[in-house]
Amino acid sequence: MRYLMLILILFHFSLAFADGRDVEYQVGGDTFEGYFITQQSSQPLVLLVHDWDGVTDYEKRRASMLNELGYAVFAIDLFGKDVRPTAVAEKRKLTQALYSDRKRMRSLLNGGLAAAKQLGANVDNTVVAGYCFGGAAVLEFARSGADFKGFVTFHGGLTTPDGQDYSKVKSEILVLHGTADKAVSMDDFAELAQTLEEEGVKHEMITYSGAPHAFTVFGSDRYREDADLKSWQRFTLFLDQNLRSN
């Protein structure tokens, strides 16, 4: 039934786009452009963090799928308005700049949260989710002690920066990973699992056989339908368990 629902959402996603809008906001004097979609302000909220392409139609498509399921979504922009890199070198430069400046990464994440709040989104009933680079940013948000109902990473970076730990995490972490991922190794996966267990952080970590890095990206040569559908099913159940029960 959930697979059928996903197929129907994919078919109708272009219609749902009409309900969403680009939103400019300021962080530290710089202009950013996120994406907001909602049916009513009281809806549970998903804060969505983009991959290393920036906020593109991929994030808007996922936001529309979530909105069809009854969630408001605000896609946070960590790069800046009109910064949507297409060359690998530029993507790497932008992401490495934030990986090397975790204070700024946290500031931009909190700036996105503030923008969502300004829009009237239900920030008190929120899960944060991200893809690839966005998944690593989600874990950064979790380590900062941000008070959300859960954190979800799809094929994201899993290493813990020097000097950081998970002692401030306030809610469950869900990690959805491809076993065939060459960018983020199973050693990284195992190390994170051990860290979370040792630090007493509630977590669930799943790997999908044959799934490479970026296995959820529609239309790419890395897309794996089986892993995408299964991870989406687990994600939506996680949202239901953590946001609908309130």
> Domain-by-domain residue ranges, the chain?
2-243
Report CA torsion sign: 133, 222, 129, 29. Answer: positive
What confidence category does residue 12 fall into, taking pLDDT thresholds of 50, 70 and 90?
very low
pLDDT in tens, 193-222: 999 999 999 999 999 999 999 999 999 999
Is the per-residue pLDDT at 116 higher than 70? yes
The mean per-residue pLDDT over the stretch 136-140 comes to 98
Q: What tens digit of pLDDT does each residue of 58-96 get?
A: 999 999 999 999 999 999 999 999 999 999 999 999 999
pLDDT for position 10: 46
Largest Cα separation within the chain, whole Å, is 47
| 40: confidence class by pLDDT, cuts 50, 70, 90 | confident
What's the whole-number average pLDDT of the chain? 93
Considering only the top CATH level, what class is 2-243? Answer: alpha beta
pTM: 0.92
CB 49 within 8 A of CB 137: yes
Confidence of residue 246 (pLDDT cuts 50, 70, 90): low
Using 50, 70 and 90 to split pLDDT, how confident is the model at 19?
confident
DSSP conformation letters of 181-235 = -SSS-HHHHHHHHHHHHHTT--EEEEEETT--TTTT-TTSTT--HHHHHHHHHHH
- pLDDT recorded at residue 41: 79
Beta-carbon contacts of 151 under 8 Å, excluding residues fewer than 6 positions away, are 127, 128, 129, 138, 139, 141, 142, 169, 171, 172, 173, 174
